């Protein structure tokens, strides 16, 4: 009997660790919905120059997120306060997304999005600290995989919301209000559930290049708003090579995936399907990533994962080539693109965790 109660207490204790993620779950729901909606919304406002403005928005977000991530990473470690920056990020996202509903001027949307990119990355460094301090170093990889998989489910549900809203004819203002409301829920849950670590201990046991880590997370998070790509962890191996590879990889993924909702929308319309199918395709892409995180999390303790990283990169590169070809074809293009995006989501999840 005592053993049973002990097991119950252990489960409750572990569950309390996991509760802090709920706010991030709803936050990802909001930005999952926004990731596909915003490029399509801009294209509806600017038919001729829409891709140009999407590129400007993405480039501006990346450019501003890099120094911002340095700043937030430094200041949260300097002050030893982390919860306040998570709350700042979610509350700022709530207000700024609401302000999106008050204008249809693309120039003003660019300004609002630039401010959003600066404040939005404020939660990334504190989130990394929570993962590092709530779990032992040996559990970091599996905890990271669980966090990414859990929040990816939130991202997927946000895409499902986009499909439902599009199917039932909700307008742009309604969709933006839903995005804002989801971030408000994230703010409320984080206010109640997130606690600052009592002591900063685990990170002192392992040498981590924090500055590059925060910068990379800022870059990938800004891109994630537009294309749904999560970010990766940095280990101290060859830092210069990693930094160079990071820049090239970020550039390549941004060029390909920033306008991806627009490209997918064009082939969906050419096939005669409703606009909601665009969200459905990205739901499947996100589902592939969820499966990838679950698979990688179960194999996180196996050394073979590290050895297979090169194979994963090559496989994803091959899928990128196939995706470009599939976007140019007319026959069965929707099915081909959907299948490739599902496999790319799975491969990218393996890449991040390994």
Structure confidence by residue, pLDDT tens digits, 72-91 = 988 988 888 889 999 999 99
The pair of three-digit structure tokens given for residue 39, joined into one six-digit string: 């490029």
In which band, very low, low, confident or very high, does the pLDDT at 5 lie, cut at 50, 70 and 90? very low
Q: Which residue, 115, 141, 139, is CA-closest to 296?
A: 141
Which among 107, 124, 95 has a CA at the least distance from the CA of 30? 95
Q: 13-38 pLDDT, tens per residue?
A: 444 456 788 999 999 999 999 999 99
219 located within any domain: yes
Q: Choose among 57, 44, 26, 39: nearest CA to 222.
A: 57
In a domain? residue 343: no
Q: What is the pLDDT of residue 99?
A: 97
Give the contacts of 205 (CB within 8 A, at least 6 positions apart).
137
Answer yes or no: is 297 within a domain.
Answer: no
Does 10 reside within a domain?
no
Residue 167 CA to residue 296 CA, distance in Å, equals: 34
Crossing angle of helices 106-120 and 83-100, rounded to 10° = 170
pLDDT at 79: 87
336 domain residue, yes or no: no
Q: Please report whether residue 6 resides in a domain.
A: no
Is 305:299 a contact under the CB 8 Å cutoff? Answer: yes
> Is this prediction's pTM over 0.85?
no
Q: Is residue 212 part of a domain?
A: yes
DSSP codes, 101-138: TT---HHHHHHHHHHHHHHHGGGHHHHHHHHHHHS-GG
Mean pLDDT of 83-107: 95
Total domains, the chain:
1
Q: Does residue 24 lie within any of the structural domains?
A: yes
Cα end-to-end span (Å), the chain: 41
**Tokens standing for residue 104:** 């249809």
Q: What is the CATH number of the domain that holds 241?
A: 1.20.1250.20
Give the domain extent around 222.
18-272
């Amino acid at each position: 009997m005592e053993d049973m109660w002990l097991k119950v207490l252990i489960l409750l204790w572990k569950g309390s660790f996991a509760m802090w993620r709920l706010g991030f779950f709803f936050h990802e729901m909001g930005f999952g919905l926004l990731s596909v909606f915003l490029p399509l919304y801009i294209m509806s406002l600017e038919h001729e120059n829409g891709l140009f403005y999407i590129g400007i928005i993405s480039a501006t977000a990346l450019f501003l997120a890099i120094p911002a991530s340095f700043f937030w990473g430094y200041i949260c470690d300097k002050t030893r306060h982390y919860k306040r920056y998570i709350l700042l990020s979610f509350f700022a996202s709530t207000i700024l997304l609401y302000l999106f509903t008050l204008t249809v001027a693309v120039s003003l949307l660019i300004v609002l999005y630039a401010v959003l990119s600066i404040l939005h990355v404020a939660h990334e460094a504190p989130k990394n600290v929570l993962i590092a301090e709530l779990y032992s170093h040996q559990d970091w990889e599996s905890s990271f995989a669980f966090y990414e998989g859990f929040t990816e489910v939130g991202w997927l549900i946000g895409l499902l919301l986009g499909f439902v809203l599009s199917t039932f004819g909700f307008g742009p203002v309604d969709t933006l209000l839903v995005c804002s409301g989801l971030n408000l829920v994230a703010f409320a849950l984080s206010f109640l559930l997130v606690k600052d670590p009592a002591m900063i201990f685990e990170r002192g046991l392992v040498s981590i290049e924090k500055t590059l880590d925060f910068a990379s997370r800022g870059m990938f998070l800004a891109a994630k708003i537009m294309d749904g790509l999560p970010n990766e962890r940095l280990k101290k191996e060859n830092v210069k090579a990693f930094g160079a590879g990071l820049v090239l990889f970020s550039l390549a993924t941004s060029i390909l995936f920033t306008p991806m909702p627009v490209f997918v929308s064009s082939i969906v319309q050419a096939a005669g399907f409703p606009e909601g199918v665009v969200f459905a395709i990205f739901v499947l892409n996100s589902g592939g990533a969820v499966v990838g995180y679950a698979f990688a999390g179960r194999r996180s303790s196996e050394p073979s994962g590290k050895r297979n990283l090169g194979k994963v990169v090559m496989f994803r590169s091959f899928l990128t080539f196939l995706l470009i070809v599939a976007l140019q074809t007319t026959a069965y293009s929707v099915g081909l693109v959907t299948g490739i995006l599902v496999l790319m989501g799975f491969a990218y999840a393996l890449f991040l965790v390994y």
